[in-house]
């Protein structure tokens, strides 16, 4: 929608919101996307709805992969025209409000949505498409809370029968949630993490798995046939055509994210052949997967913030020297027990270094896991400890930020 069509209150709110965001940036307090949106919403509580009006919107939600998939879907949709997006991972309504206000009038928007806020953001933005990636335990969340989240998603869709859903056929929690909608396009991107979906969300009976298939042993819930799936180094579309997917982002996890982005873009009429060159331009996402050369070492940063995303990081990482860094500050969760929910065995075939506030927790875990390692006191020491060539860095949230800051200081 153009600014001229906004109600007066929304105009004022938008203007103040943009000003606050600019002030926040100027003051060096982040990119301003949260404070700007917060002030805007105080002045006009319906600001997000007003700003969303007239745009064709896709929402991307799930425990893991939403920032990357949002980035890829945005790149794909840019084939059609300008796309507003919250590319810095500010994924709550304040961030959405700010992103839309900042972008001005655009025909399209792709918004990453924190999974807890999906219902509210669906209500406010009346999206054309909602992509549901996966649901698993995150920080102190529990298996039971995962099924509660699935219930919230399902209820949200039941209230919006016209919304089209793009959903992961490999995650039983997502499949059950997505069935709240009558218009679902299924994608298959594989799922490494199964420990939050052994119990059927519909009937409470055990779920069985064989190969890539799964089914409930006590009710009709089972894996739907996906229209989009990853095959070899590419993606098969609903017509059965296979497309080679060239990405700068590593791993089959990102191939899956690309398949999801293509499926989302297709709902807006973008064909894979048009979108694929755009996906290949994405090199890093909010610092993730970024590669930095330093002292002859090519350092690549991978973020892993919960058990499922650790397994994905192992898949993305090359068989090269690997630094693991673990903190347990507030944003990470204070408890490191989750280390025992991750099987580190895939790292046995490469040199492993460890660091971070909670390196000793990791040391004990790796010993139990029979993964040899060396403890280093700092990122700098890790650089010096490995030969020239690739160094993979896998870190949880604040450890990742620490290493990014250290790299930024040097560059």
Partner 1 sequence: MSSESTLRIVWIYPDLLSTYGDRGNMLILTRRAAMRGIPAEAYEIRSDQPMPSSADIYLIGGGEDGPQALAAQRLIADGGLHRAVNQGAAVLAICAGYQLFGHSFFAKGSKCPGLGLLDLHSDRGETRAVGELRGDIDPRLGLPPLTGFENHGGRTHLGPGVSPLARVTAGIGNDTQTEGAWHGKILGTYSHGPALARNPAIADLLLRWAIGADSLSPVDDTWPDRLRSERLAAAGA
State yes or no: residue 48 binds partner 1 (CB under 8 A). Answer: no
Binding segment for partner 1 (CB under 8 A), chosen from 178-186, 272-280, 283-291, 330-338, is 330-338
Nearest Cα neighbor of 140 from 332, 308, 312 is: 332
* Residue 194, helix vs strand vs coil: coil
Q: Least Å distance between CB 191 and partner 1? A: 18
Calpha distance 156→123 (Å, rounded): 8
Nearest Cα neighbor of 260 from 59, 10, 7, 123 is: 59
The CA R_g of the chain, rounded to the nearest whole Å, is: 21
Buried b (16+ CB within 10 A) or exposed e, 184-197: bbbbbbbbebeebb
Q: Least Å distance between CB 329 and partner 1? A: 13
Calpha distance 253→188 (Å, rounded): 11
Residue ranges in 346-365 that form contacts with partner 1 under rule CB under 8 A: 360-361, 363-365
Residue with tokens 């059950």: 176
Per-residue contact track with partner 1, 134 to 173, x per CB under 8 A?
------x-xxx-----------------------------
Residue with tokens 């000793």: 360
For partner 1, which residue of 117, 338, 344, 397 counts as binding (CB under 8 A)? 338
For partner 1, which residue of 161, 231, 232, 340 counts as binding (CB under 8 A)? 340
Q: Least Å distance between CB 216 and partner 1? A: 14
Calpha distance 232→295 (Å, rounded): 35
Cβ nearer to partner 1, comparing 195 with 408? 195
Residue 11, Cβ density class (10 Å: 0-12 exposed, 13-18 middle, ≥19 buried): middle
Q: Least Å distance between CB 205 and partner 1? A: 10
Q: Least Å distance between CB 371 and partner 1? A: 12
Please work out the total of residues on this chain that contact partner 1, with binding judged by CB under 8 A.
23
CA distances from 339 to 214, 247, 287, 311, 408 (A): 27, 30, 24, 11, 29
State yes or no: residue 199 binds partner 1 (CB under 8 A). Answer: yes
Residue with tokens 């903190």: 327
Cβ nearer to partner 1, comparing 109 with 339? 339
Distance of CA 146 to the CA centre of its chain: 16
Nearest Cα neighbor of 85 from 282, 300, 313 is: 282
Q: In this structure, what DSSP letter does residue 125 have?
A: H
Binding segment for partner 1 (CB under 8 A), chosen from 50-58, 256-264, 283-291, 337-345, is 337-345
Q: Least Å distance between CB 324 and partner 1? A: 14
Calpha distance 39→108 (Å, rounded): 24
For partner 1, which residue of 219, 273, 345, 368 counts as binding (CB under 8 A)? 368
Q: Least Å distance between CB 28 and partner 1? A: 31
Cβ nearer to partner 1, comparing 108 with 338? 338
Facing residues of 243 across strands?
A: 235
State yes or no: residue 337 binds partner 1 (CB under 8 A). Answer: yes
**For 87-171, where are the alpha helices, taking DSSP H only?**
93-103, 118-125, 143-158
For partner 1, which residue of 3, 42, 198, 273 counts as binding (CB under 8 A)? 198
State yes or no: residue 208 binds partner 1 (CB under 8 A). Answer: no
State yes or no: residue 339 binds partner 1 (CB under 8 A). Answer: yes
Binding segment for partner 1 (CB under 8 A), chosen from 60-68, 274-282, 366-374, 389-397, is 366-374
State yes or no: residue 374 binds partner 1 (CB under 8 A). Answer: no
Per-residue contact track with partner 1, 227 to 266, x per CB under 8 A?
----------------------------------------
Facing residues of 220 across strands?
A: none
Q: Are the C-beta atoms of 130 and 122 separated by less than 8 Å?
A: yes
The binding site for partner 1 (CB under 8 A) comprises: 140, 142-144, 198-199, 206, 334-341, 360-361, 363-365, 367-369
């Amino acid at each position: 929608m153009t600014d001229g069509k906004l109600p007066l209150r929304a105009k004022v709110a938008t203007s103040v919101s943009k000003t606050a965001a600019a002030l926040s940036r100027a003051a060096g307090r982040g990119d301003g996307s949260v404070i700007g949106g917060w002030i805007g919403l105080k002045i006009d509580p319906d600001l997000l709805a007003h700003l969303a009006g007239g745009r064709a919107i896709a929402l991307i939600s799930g425990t893991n992969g939403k920032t990357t998939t949002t980035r890829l879907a945005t790149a794909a949709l840019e084939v059609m025209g300008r796309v507003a997006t919250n590319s810095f991972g500010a994924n709550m309504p304040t961030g959405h409000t700010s992103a839309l206000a900042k972008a001005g009038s655009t025909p399209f928007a792709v918004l990453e949505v924190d999974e807890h806020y999906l219902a509210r953001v669906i209500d406010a933005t009346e999206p054309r498409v909602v992509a549901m990636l996966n649901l698993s335990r995150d920080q102190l969340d529990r298996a039971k809370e995962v099924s509660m989240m699935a219930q919230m998603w399902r209820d949200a869709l039941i209230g919006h029968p016209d919304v089209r859903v793009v959903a992961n056929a490999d995650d039983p929690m997502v499949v059950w949630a997505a069935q709240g909608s009558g218009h679902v396009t299924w994608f298959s991107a594989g799922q490494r993490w199964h420990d939050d979906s052994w119990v059927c969300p519909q009937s409470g009976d055990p779920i069985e798995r064989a190969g890539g298939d799964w089914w409930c042993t006590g009710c009709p819930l089972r894996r739907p046939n996906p229209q989009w799936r990853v095959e070899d180094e590419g993606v098969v579309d609903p017509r059965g055509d296979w497309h080679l997917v060239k990405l700068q982002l590593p791993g089959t996890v990102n191939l899956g994210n690309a398949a999801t982005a293509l499926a989302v873009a297709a709902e807006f009429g973008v064909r894979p052949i048009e979108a694929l060159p755009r996906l290949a331009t994405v090199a890093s996402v909010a610092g993730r997967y970024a590669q930095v050369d330093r002292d002859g070492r090519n350092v690549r940063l991978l973020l892993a913030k919960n058990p499922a995303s650790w397994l994905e990081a192992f898949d993305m990482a090359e068989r090269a020297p690997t630094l693991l860094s673990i903190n347990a500050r507030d944003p990470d969760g204070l408890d490191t027990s989750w280390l025992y929910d991750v099987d580190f065995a895939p790292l046995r075939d490469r040199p492993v270094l460890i660091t971070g506030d909670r390196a000793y927790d990791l040391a004990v875990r790796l010993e139990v896991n029979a993964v040899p390692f060396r403890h280093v006191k700092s990122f700098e020491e890790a650089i010096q400890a490995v030969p020239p060539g690739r160094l993979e860095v896998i870190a949880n949230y604040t450890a990742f930020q620490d290493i990014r800051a250290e790299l930024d200081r040097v560059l």
